[in-house]
Chain A
Amino acid sequence: MKAAPRISRQGALFALIGLAGLALPLVQLRPNRIVPGEPLSLPAALGWPGWALALLLAAALLALLPARLPARAGLALAWPGALLSVLALGWAGAALIAPDAPLARVSPAAGFWLLLLAFALAAADALARLAPPLAWRWGLLLGTVLAGAAILSSGVLGDISVMREYQSRHDVFWREAGRHLLLAFGSLGLALALGLPLGVLVHQAPRLRGAVLGALNAVQTVPSLAMFGIMIPLFGWIAANVPGAAAAGVAGIGAFPALVALFLYSLLPVVSNMAVGLASVPQPVAEAAAGLGMTRAQRLWRVELPLALPVVLAAVRIVLVQNIGLTVIAGLIGGGGFGAFVFQGLNQTAMDLVLLGALPTIALALVAGVALGLLTAQAGPAPLERTAPA
């Protein structure tokens, strides 16, 4: 008989990452937004309250160690741990920025990201072991989003560099956010409007299948940078030379080219998953529906489409997550969205500005991915189908 280990190895991993985070600098203090700065640990930034906070965080990390720790307890440690790390970051910012140095910047450093990673992994592990029911998972998602919004709007992080960038351009930020969502969701809507009927067609006329899916597959191989780039002259030409096109909103500049590029990338998952979903309807079910005297249209609407729904939702998830990421590239061709901040920041080597674009994109993609994953799980089991241009 082997004695059961007293320390869980996952717990040891999380504690190790977190303690490394505490040992490394939590923040960087810089005289202004461009120059490199001075790394500071939590105690160095906050003095003795910093020591207390660091001890508290270390205690939470060590509490993750016992092998018999119930998943719920793990979650109960990880959640406040992550929250406390974020608050510590905000307090460090407030303590370090002197009122007479308005240009000084405090940005999160490696230590902060490691702490956050440790608690996020611990939460993920607890969730994976707990496998809570769907309603719980919706609640957790909603709670996390609300907590994030509360922290951001409370101003606790107001002295952190990314938030400084936000404050100096909050009008533009929300305009770009709206543009980002419009591009990601608009292209998804267009792809669904055209792709779902096309998927039904491909399913009912298998001879078309190879040609349609082959063409859409070829579209996916076009690198995103080139795809967005090609749309500008293409639609510029169409707007200039096709009568009525410009009046209909076709333009070579602005959001239109980006919308079309995203739409083209979205088609393959939608069409192929629609076709796969319909093909996966069990033969006896389809025959029973026919035996009930349903017409072909009735069978499609009442039997086959509802059964194909999970697979279609899986495609919606793929497309939405993919489009939220790809929309960043629209920023490079003047299409707007969070990418505008990313590329502007890269050009100015202003990393805070890069973060202002990259972090909301990541948050958006994560929330969209989790939410649609939950929706898909609610609709029933779905086979996997993945495609991913970058």
Chain B
Amino acid sequence: MTGRVALAAAALLLAAFLISPDSFAPLLEPLTRRGAPAIYTQTSLWSLTVSHLALVAGAVAASAVIAVGLGVLVTRDSGRDFLPLARMVTAVGQTLPPVAVLALAVPVLGFGDWPTLLALFLYGLLPIFENTLAGLTTLPPQVVEAARGMGMTPAQRLWRVELPLALPVILSGVRLSAVIALSTAAIGSTVAAHTLGEVIIAGLLSSNTAFVVQGGAVIATLALLIDAGFRAAEAAARSRAGG
């Protein structure tokens, strides 16, 4: 309960800050030096937040569709040959640092939003795929057998039994991807993506701690809210799946 109240308070505070950043200026002023501005005004914080979230949402949605699709493919009878390979590629892929993936996307796509989107998409695939595999390969065999016994077609079993049962685990993979993407997107500003990282980098370049703090605080609050939102969705999916 206290957790929910704290989250609601954080959400309200974030909304207030984004709608009227200037009213928070006195709070951030002690962090500035030599009369530097306390609030980043180069681009509106609101629009940076929106484009930051849009990048993350676009990338994670694309990763979710592809990763769940691939997860379903390699757990069907026809795709099982690929299962050991898929597991190994996922395990190895997750050791690749997101920053390095981002840096390698630049030669391919140039500067701007696109390399960030590509890196977030690629890196986001792995946790979702891994969790889809975990969800689909650890279903209770009795349930799958029962669905088969009821005369369901493979497609019906997938949509009505397997995916709903695996959904909580899949969602927790999506949550992990989203939280990682939120933080990696900030680094995307080093390659000229329009994200809240821009505020932090401006702060680093001009030694303005107030900028670093406000950019960081907005991203961290977004991460907490998104994390909590997905956890709630996981709990709902879990209770719907009857477990």
Binding site for B on A (CB under 8 A): 8-10, 121, 124-125, 127-129, 218, 221-227, 229-230, 232-233, 321, 324-326, 328-329, 332-333, 339, 342-343, 345-346, 349, 351, 354-355, 357-358, 361-362, 365-366, 368-370, 373, 386, 388-390
Contacts and interface: CB of A to CB of B under 8 A. Distances in A.
B106 A390 contact: no
Contacts of B97: 324-326, 328, 361-362, 365
B81 A354 contact: no
Given A233-B209, A390-B181, A346 B100 contact: no
Contacts of B85: 10, 121, 124-125, 128
A332 B107 CA distance: 19
A83 to B, nearest CB: 19
Given A128-B85, A128-B88, A129-B84, A223 B183 contact: yes
8 contacts: A8-B81, A124-B92, A218-B220, A221-B223, A225-B197, A225-B201, A354-B104, A361-B100
Interface in B147-187: 176, 179-184, 186-187
Contacts of A233: 31, 207, 209, 212
Interface string B100-112: 1001101100010
| Interface majority SS (helix, strand, loop, mixed), chain B | helix
Contacts of B71: none
A355 B106 CA distance: 11
Nearest to A110: B108
B224 interface: yes
Given A328-B100, A332-B190, A223 B182 contact: yes
B21 interface: no
A329 B99 contact: yes
A58 to B, nearest CB: 22
Contact of B200 (A9, A226, A342, A368): A226
B78 to A, nearest CB: 9
Contacts, number: 156
B89 interface: yes
Contacts of B95: 321, 365-366, 368-370
Contact of A346 (B98, B106, B181, B182): B106
B99 A325 contact: yes
A27 B64 CA distance: 34
A224 B88 contact: no
Contacts of B215: 223, 225-226
| Among B103, B190, B212, B215: residue with most chain A CB under 10 A | B103
A225 B99 CA distance: 11
A282 to B, nearest CB: 22
Most chain B Cβ neighbours within 10 Å, of A222, A345, A388:
A388
B24 interface: no
Interface string B221-237: 00110010000000000
A366 B92 contact: yes
A366 B100 CA distance: 12
Interface string B67-92: 00000000000000110110111011
Contacts of B88: 124-125, 127-128
B62 interface: no
A369 B92 contact: yes
Contacts of A223: 182-183, 186, 197, 200, 215-216, 219-220, 223
B204 interface: yes
B14 interface: no
Nearest to A219: B220
Nearest to B199: A226
A325 B204 contact: no
A368 B94 CA distance: 12
A32 B88 CA distance: 39
A227 B223 CA distance: 14
Given A124-B92, A361-B100, 16 more contacts: A223-B197, A224-B186, A230-B212, A232-B204, A325-B96, A325-B97, A325-B100, A326-B97, A342-B99, A349-B111, A355-B107, A357-B103, A358-B103, A386-B176, A388-B127, A390-B183
Given A128-B88, A354-B107, A225 B224 contact: no
Contacts of B209: 230, 233
B159 to A, nearest CB: 25
Contacts of A128: 84-85, 87-88
A390 B187 contact: yes
B200 A225 contact: yes
A348 B79 CA distance: 45
Contacts of B127: 386, 388
Contacts of B219: 222-223, 226
Contacts of A342: 99-100, 103
A99 to B, nearest CB: 27
